[in-house]
Amino acid sequence: MSTTVGQVIRCKAAVAWEAGKPLVMEEVDVAPPQKMEVRLKILYTSLCHTDVYFWEAKGQNPVFPRILGHEAAGIVESVGEGVTELAPGDHVLPVFTGECKDCAHCKSEESNMCSLLRINTDRGVMINDGKSRFSINGNPIYHFVGTSTFSEYTVVHVGCVAKINPLAPLDKVCVLSCGISTGLGASLNVAKPTKGSSVAIFGLGAVGLAAAEGARIAGASRIIGVDLNASRFEQAKKFGVTEFVNPKDYSKPVQEVIAEMTDGGVDRSVECTGHIDAMISAFECVHDGWGVAVLVGVPHKEAVFKTHPMNFLNERTLKGTFFGNYKPRSDIPSVVEKYMNKELELEKFITHTLPFAEINKAFDLMLKGEGLRCIITMAD
């Protein structure tokens, strides 16, 4: 790889030219990394709902042409000026949010919301010079959440790169750079269920099942899965879910159903759908005195959370989380080690594998709601 250092690399990338249209495989030029940037060779990437959401561009600023993708694993090809923590050949996970290590958030043990590098979905350029590192015939192709992993090579700010154990299989741990860590951390770092406790998980997609996995690892004895799609229940058993509730089966609010099942409410709940009704239910279904509800899903921008203040005064706690409260550079390597130590299972999240040339099939699978994670192999 050393022959490419300092050179423009021409490689294949799947470009989104316009909203909702199939990605087009193009030859793109990837410029060398600038100050505090790293150029990565992406080996595996997977598709997350966030990619589909911004590809559809319903309800946010459309930024096209763009290279999407943010859940991935790869190897450092070269580093820019000022980068000392990474070197060519390092195995890494690029992450959609960052850790500069200098701001008040990064210095706080409680926050992972870096002032410099937190997620910005509107920005399609690098923060160093306000320019894109991707181009076709000299015309810029925009970045996505600082990662743009639907390209054989990409350029990322060093603060958005987690250096991991070189023995970790990249085709498995790539899923830890977004959704799985988000759900897992929501349980382990924020809800913090105790051994023998009860936990309700709202939404049994990949993030919700990762939250269930976190509750299982923590030793929860009852993990109640809540979803409108009953076909998800069988699969959820593999992730530690012990009971299921479909709100459509009841005439009363689901929080009342759960309170009756658990003698007053669950000890912890984790909401992973982003629907405001589920968020309210997740809060109102926890036990008074000690119950904690954690919101993970991103709501519609017009959504309003309404509940009676007595629910708080009766000592229920409502929390929110971003990326499972993990700091990308400091914490994600240890999540990879959980997998290496067999504490965390990742294989069961991976339901499909496709070559890069068939990336549009991965979009089709997600739009149909089939499977959890589809791994896209970049090499031919």
User: For residue 374, which of 22, 72, 80, 140 has the smallest C-alpha distance?
Assistant: 72
As given in the structure block, the two tokens for residue 257 are 């159903």
pTM of the model: 0.96
- Name the residue with tokens 């060519």: 88
- Name the residue with tokens 């669950």: 266
Q: Is 213:344 a contact under the CB 8 Å cutoff?
A: yes
- Name the residue with tokens 């790869």: 74
Helices (DSSP H) in the chain: which residue ranges?
Answer: 49-56, 104-107, 170-173, 179-185, 206-218, 233-236, 254-261, 276-284, 310-313, 328-340, 359-367
As given in the structure block, the two tokens for residue 325 are 């409260």
As given in the structure block, the two tokens for residue 348 are 């069961």
Strand-pairing partners, residue 155, are 39
Q: Please classify residue 177 by burial: count the beta carbons closer than 10 Å to its beta carbon, then call 0-12 exposed, 13-18 middle and 19+ buried.
A: buried
DSSP state of 151: B
**What are the angstrom distances between the C-alpha of 19 and each of 48, 191, 298, 353?**
16, 37, 21, 25
As given in the structure block, the two tokens for residue 199 are 């936990």
User: For residue 202, which of 152, 241, 160 has the smallest C-alpha distance?
Assistant: 241
As given in the structure block, the two tokens for residue 16 are 């989104």
**Amino acid at the residue 223:** I
DSSP state of 66: B
Q: Give the span between the Cα atoms of 198 and 229, in whole angstroms.
A: 22
Q: Give the span between the Cα atoms of 21 and 55, in whole angstroms.
A: 8
Read out DSSP for 100-118?
Answer: -SSSHHHH-SS----TTTS
| pLDDT given for residue 2 in this prediction | 60
Strand-pairing partners, residue 305, are none
User: For residue 274, which of 28, 5, 26, 50 has the smallest C-alpha distance?
Assistant: 50
| pLDDT given for residue 59 in this prediction | 65
Task: State phi, psi for 36 to the nearest 5 degrees.
Answer: 60, 30
Helix axes 254-261, 276-284, angle to 10 degrees: 30
pLDDT in 10s for each residue of the chain, 380 residues: 468 999 999 999 999 999 999 999 999 999 999 999 999 999 999 999 899 989 998 767 889 999 999 999 999 999 999 999 999 999 999 999 999 999 999 999 999 999 999 999 999 999 999 999 999 999 999 999 999 999 999 999 999 999 999 999 999 999 999 999 999 999 999 999 999 999 999 999 999 999 999 999 999 999 999 999 999 999 999 999 999 999 999 999 999 999 999 999 999 999 999 999 999 999 999 999 999 999 999 998 889 999 999 999 999 999 999 999 999 999 999 999 999 999 999 999 999 999 999 999 999 999 998 889 999 999 87
Q: Please classify residue 289 by burial: count the beta carbons closer than 10 Å to its beta carbon, then call 0-12 exposed, 13-18 middle and 19+ buried.
A: exposed
Catalytic residue positions, numbered: 48-50, 70-71, 100, 103, 106, 114, 118, 178, 373
Q: Give the span between the Cα atoms of 22 and 19, in whole angstroms.
A: 9
